[in-house]
Structure 1
Amino acid sequence: MKLKRITLELLSLGMLVSCGNTSSNGYVDNYKNLKGFDIDLAKAACEKLDITPIFQEIIWEQKETELSSKQIDLIWNGLTITEERKQNLEITLPYMSNTQSIIVKKDFADDRITSEDRYTIAFEQGSAGEDAFNSSDIFKGSTSVGVTSQVTALTEVLSGTSDIAIIDSIMAGYYLSDSSSYGDKLKVLSGYDFEIENYGVALRKGETALLAKLNETIEELYDNGTTGDIASRYGLNNDLVKPETYTKFDEVEDKSSWEYIKNKGNIIIGYTVFAPIAFEA
């Protein structure tokens, strides 16, 4: 994947980017061609918070490094919430559910995969697909191919370089639809039940004030119907997760993480391209 850097020098030139088409401060959205559920939800959240989003494409395997080094402020890109990640990162309320799907060519011969099979299996490095490969007994006899994106995992199968791809079900439903160029060539291999996952937004450990602000905004957008409206654009209403309880902003003593974002006036959001979460239209 080509790494795109959108730098803060844009701000010094006055090229401010709004969270919607026009925010309360009159900024113009320079990311009109960047679409997807997470992108649209992030824009709506930033508009509520009155801060400017800067979207920066990253390599998924390097997401934690990008975050800790302050190259980005958030990972908002279909991030699966896991216990390990919760120990190392602050993660918002879950906002969407997902699972993993096995993708093969339509003429794939086997109905069932077993530990004795010898397939080449592609997945995005550092993803829940990689976790599924490592934890499932059915893949023990197969060879893994770690790639830089879930889209690349699909093209591996399409080209015949790999036999199988493991990707998010959210993505599989979109890319394998009848209207997609992948839909007549690839299919989901049914009959495999992976664990249900939830997506959340990740930020640096200890940034509890910023976390509280994001959680309040995620809850508000869900309650006022904005999240549902965004989900309708991408056929994802059935995958939404109702926000649960969380620590409120007023209950957080250390407000420095929110003050840091508010004072600089922008928040850098790391993402990778995979529809319908984030893509260029």
Structure 2
Amino acid sequence: MNVKKFLAMGLAAVMAAAVLSGCGGNAVKDGGSSDKGKIVVGLDDNFPPMGFKDENNEIVGFDIDLAKEAAKRMGREVEFKAIDWSSKEAELKSGRVDVLWNGLDITEKRKENMLFSDPYMDNRQILFVKKGTTGITDEKSLAGKVVGTQSAGTAEEYMDKSDFFKKQVKEVKKYPDYVAAFMDLENGRVDAIVGDEITGRYYMSKHPDTIEAVDTAIGEISMFGIAFRKDDQKLRDEVQKVLNDMREDGTMAKISEKWFGKNITK
């Protein structure tokens, strides 16, 4: 191989490396383990009240307020990036986002590919009734009642597998969304709703005179956490420290009360 050809190949390799390094995600370049870089938060922007677009097309929500306060205390910028939630692990691993912070359940399977914060909130299914209702206190008290829930949700999955709901509950009505279910509850068409605590309490905070919660879990309880890349222990620990501080000084409780009318954080 002649020298000119060798040098040309070397120059091409250097240029290719430069191009590739410039094609990386903004999250890796500006966030991640960098002490003061921007943190890019990946989320589903249609998940009220955790993260969603308001009437001004601004992303708002409980997790948004939590992340903003954490970033402020860390002295960092934060960017909220709507992603295809079904591809969330690939978005994180590729570096297009630094964290997944949007009501994400901690599971053993996910722990294999992601690093999690400590749990900051339980993800429960609980009962909601029309204000002033008596006699509905737990799952067994639903015998003979008409119960509503959202289709294709965790509560529906639990009730479909339960002999009690199949044999002793008068009827299970399934709705396309919780708004429709709660409207029927307010109008007396169902006796109770079994649904996501976070969604139900958010709706209840907007209708405090008509809906109340029965603070009893139905089915299994999962936990929400913030997910990081497996090798980003530094960022995980930095975020965890400020979350601990926010829990201890009451800031997390205040944000919860704003969105749910009650402190439901861990």
Deviations 1:36-66 (A, max 9, x none): 2211110011111222111122343332232
Please point out which of 148, 158, 178 is paired with 1:154. Answer: 178
What is the match of residue 172 of structure 1? 200
Q: Which amino acid is 1:174 matched to? A: Y
Give runs of aligned pairs for residues 74-89 of structure 1, distance below 5 A: 74-89=99-114
TM-score (norm 2): 0.54
Q: Which amino acid is 1:92 matched to? A: S
Root-mean-square deviation over aligned CA pairs: 4.6
Mapped to 2, the partners of 1:153 and 1:172 lie a distance apart of 11
Percent identical among aligned pairs is 29
- Tell me the CA shift for residue 132 of structure 1: 4.3
Please point out which of 226, 230, 233 is paired with 1:205. Answer: 230
Mapped to 2, the partners of 1:233 and 1:120 lie a distance apart of 26
Question: In the superposition, relative to structure 1, how do residues 154 and 232 fare at CA in structure 2: closer, same or farther (>3 Å)?
Answer: closer
What is the match of residue 70 of structure 2? 45
In the alignment, structure 1 residue 93 sits paired with structure 2 residue 121: no
Higher normalized contact order (CA 8 Å, seq sep 6+, divided by chain length) = 1
- Tell me the CA shift for residue 130 of structure 1: 7.7
TM-score (norm 1): 0.51
In structure 1, stretches of 5+ residues that fail to align are: 1-6, 9-16, 20-30, 106-110, 146-151, 242-281
Contact conserved, 2:92 with 2:228, CA < 8 A, in 1? yes
Question: In the superposition, relative to structure 1, how do residues 132 and 211 fare at CA in structure 2: closer, same or farther (>3 Å)?
Answer: farther
What is the match of residue 234 of structure 1? 259
Question: In the superposition, relative to structure 1, how do residues 60 and 32 fare at CA in structure 2: closer, same or farther (>3 Å)?
Answer: closer
In the alignment, structure 1 residue 223 sits paired with structure 2 residue 222: no
- Tell me the CA shift for residue 159 of structure 1: 10
Q: Which amino acid is 1:53 matched to? A: V
- Tell me the CA shift for residue 35 of structure 1: 2.8
Question: In the superposition, relative to structure 1, how do residues 171 and 121 fare at CA in structure 2: closer, same or farther (>3 Å)?
Answer: closer
Mapped to 1, the partners of 2:99 and 2:224 lie a distance apart of 13
Deviations 1:167-189 (A, max 9, x none): 42121122145x349x96x9989
In the alignment, structure 1 residue 70 sits paired with structure 2 residue 95: yes
- Tell me the CA shift for residue 218 of structure 1: 0.8
Mapped to 2, the partners of 1:211 and 1:205 lie a distance apart of 9
Deviations 1:179-212 (A, max 9, x none): 349x96x998998622233221112223212111
Q: Which has the higher helix share?
A: 2
Mapped to 1, the partners of 2:161 and 2:83 lie a distance apart of 26
Question: In the superposition, relative to structure 1, how do residues 76 and 231 fare at CA in structure 2: closer, same or farther (>3 Å)?
Answer: same
Larger Rg: 2
Deviations 1:195-250 (A, max 9, x none): 23322111222321211111111112222332222223224543121xxxxxxxxx
- Tell me the CA shift for residue 88 of structure 1: 2.6
Q: Which amino acid is 2:200 matched to? A: A
Deviations 1:132-176 (A, max 9, x none): 4787566789xxx9xxxxxx632575899xx99974212112214
Deviations 1:242-266 (A, max 9, x none): xxxxxxxxxxxxxxxxxxxxxxxxx
Mapped to 2, the partners of 1:93 and 1:45 lie a distance apart of 15
